Amino acid sequence: MAIEIGIDIGGTKIAAAAYDKDGRELAQEVLPTPASYDAFLDTCRKLVAVLEEKSGRATSIGVCAPYADETTNANVPALIGKNLSGDLEKIFGHIIPFANDANCAALAEATEGAGRGYASMFGLILGTGVGGGFILNGKIMAGANGMAAEIGHLPLPHYEPIDGSRVLCGCGQTGCIEKLISGSALARLHHQRTENDVSAKQMGVLAAKGNKDVLETLDAYYTTVAKAMVAILHSFDPEIVTVSGGLSSLPGLYDEVPKRWGRFAVNKNPVTQLVPSAFGSMAGLRGAALLGKRT
Ligand SMILES: [Zn+2]
């Protein structure tokens, strides 16, 4: 039986899961991300050993992490300058493909999730951070520098002051889409409008209960999201956009944004669909396993 293992490396935890050939999850394990590189490799070894004990010997392993390449990573300091896939290959005796987590998440949605059956799909992550992955004919389009689909660090098209102040972004620029549509940006917009401090998560709860102030903030927020989506439509023009992340369950998101994006696009009636992701935060893990399977 094929046992496909995916490893999803994060700044605070490393998750791993085993799947069968039909994508059914057989087992999952999570351990904290250690500080040193040796401990890091040992954690990967432990995770795979536990999964193999539960499900059988791995036939393939794939890895994803929150950065574009293995040498310039700020989110997981232990890995900076290390040849992670090379070292994991020595440990496991497999070729271990590696990809950015947003790209892996998009691959999972396009192959087995909400984007299945579409030739072009953008997987948008809308939460604490904003990013994405673009899949064309079943393949990740990562780009020459691993920067394709990193829409969080494009400036917002058709920016107006109502969208929020020009907050400095981690990339060193101001006006980035991430700083205008992330969870903290939504909370900031609400504070600007009402002087109330409410988290984005809590705003989702209040909106579902019909809170007028929050619904008015969301109305302004969805216009900003529609502008951000135009950066995706004009760059990739996908048939479908799947949304994951903490803000993906905001009431009205999937109706209000497509109503507005034509206003800012060259084509006034885009046929692109906007839908929730099928796998949510588990998509990266599943995509890493798919990547391994294809190698
Ligand atoms: Zn930025």
Q: Which CATH number characterizes residue 85's domain?
A: 3.30.420.40
Residue-level pLDDT at 82:
87
- Structural domain includes residue 108: no
User: Which letter does DSSP use for residue 77 in this model?
Assistant: G
Specify the pairing of strand 4-9 against strand 60-65: parallel
Residue-level pLDDT at 73:
61
Distance 113 CA to ligand 1 centre (A): 29
For 208, the token pair is 């579902």
Q: Is residue 62 located within the same domain as residue 158? A: no
Distance 155 CA to ligand 1 centre (A): 8
Residue-level pLDDT at 69:
63
- Structural domain includes residue 24: yes
- Structural domain includes residue 106: no
Specify the pairing of strand 4-9 against strand 13-19: antiparallel
Residue-level pLDDT at 13:
93
pLDDT digits (tens, 9 = 90+) for 165-207: 678 888 889 889 999 999 999 999 999 999 999 999 999 999 9
Q: Is residue 85 located within the same domain as residue 156? A: no
Distance 169 CA to ligand 1 centre (A): 5
Residue-level pLDDT at 165:
61
- First-residue to last-residue Cα distance in the chain: 17
Residue-level pLDDT at 206:
97
Which residues of the chain register pLDDT less than 70?
Answer: 68-74, 162-165
Q: Is residue 16 located within the same domain as residue 147? A: no
Q: Is residue 77 located within the same domain as residue 147? A: no
- Structural domain includes residue 109: no
Distance 150 CA to ligand 1 centre (A): 9
Distance 86 CA to ligand 1 centre (A): 30
Residue-level pLDDT at 79:
85
Q: Is residue 128 located within the same domain as residue 153? A: yes
Distance 206 CA to ligand 1 centre (A): 29
Torsion of CA 45, 46, 50, 53, to 10 degrees: 50
Distance 175 CA to ligand 1 centre (A): 8
What CA–CA distances, in Å, run from 146 to 59, 137, 155, 189, 240?
27, 18, 18, 31, 22
Q: Is residue 288 located within the same domain as residue 273? A: no
For 63, the token pair is 């890895």
Distance 61 CA to ligand 1 centre (A): 32
Q: Is residue 146 located within the same domain as residue 198? A: yes
Distance 48 CA to ligand 1 centre (A): 35
d(CA 249, CA 55): 33
Domain assignment of residue 264, given as a range: 114-277
Torsion of CA 8, 14, 19, 21, to 10 degrees: 30
**Mean pLDDT, the chain, whole residue set:** 93
Strand order in the sheet with 4-9: 25-32, 13-19, 4-9, 60-65, 98-100
Q: Is residue 165 located within the same domain as residue 271? A: yes
Residue with tokens 């536990």: 50
- Structural domain includes residue 21: yes
- Structural domain includes residue 239: yes
Q: Is residue 140 located within the same domain as residue 194? A: yes
pTM: predicted TM-score of the whole model, two decimal places: 0.93
Distance 153 CA to ligand 1 centre (A): 4
Q: Is residue 253 located within the same domain as residue 268? A: yes
| Number of domains observed in the structure of the chain | 2
Q: Is residue 90 located within the same domain as residue 119? A: no
